[in-house]
Amino acid sequence: MNLQLKDKVVLVSGGAKGMGAAIVRACAGEGAIPVIVDRDAEAGQQLQIELRDKGAPSELILADLWTPEGCSQAVAHTVKACGRLDALVNNAGINGTIDLEHGSPEQFIASLGQDLLPYYNMTHYALPHLKQSQGPIVNISADRTAGLASPRGAILALTREWAVELLGDGIRVNAIIPGRQNTAPDEIAAMAIFLISSNAAHITGQHLFVDSGIATNEGE
């Protein structure tokens, strides 16, 4: 399927491994220019070499996205290297579990900094450039693993809030919710690049489950 993504610059946070890497590969397969933003230099370089061997251009930015400065620099480097930004995929997160009884308030606050703030910060710094391109935002939410209710719920709430706020700017914002298991990274990637594409021009503010029907079985 031609999703008309050729030469579109797509920044994928946490793009060196797992679902992020699958999204990067899918973008490259559609002719887009994926920007791999990650702190894992070895994994990022291996992925970039893989894409280069296939003749697919890409950019690699090593950044610590747990700080506002790291997010700001990642966006700035993307625009400097590529000249623009056409889409943002928020995927970076630790997905750590903080147990109510055995965790601590300090650990809980730290988990929000790892799993929620990178989404806000990346979007905040990318927004001026996305307004220029009317580029979409895709948030990869945490699955329903125990202990992730607060970051996951906040990401989903922000998805709806941003969709309303940015509707007048022509920016679509959607979230993908993977399942606990049996969800292949390629399936998440296929949904992500569809939401980035103009084929999803009338889809915004949605939470899309890619979970083999788990949400239906659990009544969500």
Work out the number of other CB atoms within 10 angstroms of the CB of residue 204: 21
Q: What is the pLDDT of residues 185-219, one digit of tens each?
A: 999 999 999 999 999 999 999 999 997 665 544 54
* Per-residue burial over 167-193, b = 16 or more CB atoms within 10 Å of its CB, e = otherwise: eeeebbbbbbbbbeeebebebbbbbbb
Could you give the angle at which helices 149-165 and 105-115 cross, rounded to 10 degrees?
40
- Contact (CB, 8 A) for 171 and 205: no
Q: What pLDDT score was predicted for residue 6?
A: 96
Q: What pLDDT score was predicted for residue 216?
A: 45
CA dihedral 1, 55, 48, 23 (to 10 degrees): 0
Q: Which DSSP helix (H) or strand (E) runs through 45?
A: helix 41-53
> Beta strand 33-38 with 9-13: parallel, antiparallel or unpaired?
parallel
Q: Would you give per-residue pLDDT tens digits along the chain (220 residues)?
A: 689 999 999 999 999 999 999 999 999 999 999 999 999 999 999 999 999 999 999 999 999 998 999 999 999 999 999 999 999 999 986 655 666 777 777 777 777 766 789 999 999 999 999 999 999 999 998 655 544 556 778 899 999 999 999 999 999 999 999 876 556 899 999 999 999 999 999 999 999 999 766 554 454 5
User: Domain spanning 9-217: which superfamily?
Assistant: NAD(P)-binding Rossmann-like Domain (3.40.50.720)
Could you give the angle at which helices 68-82 and 117-133 cross, rounded to 10 degrees?
30
Domain ranges across the chain: 9-217
Give pTM, 2 decimals.
Answer: 0.90
Angle at 95 between CA 171 and CA 188, to 5 degrees: 50
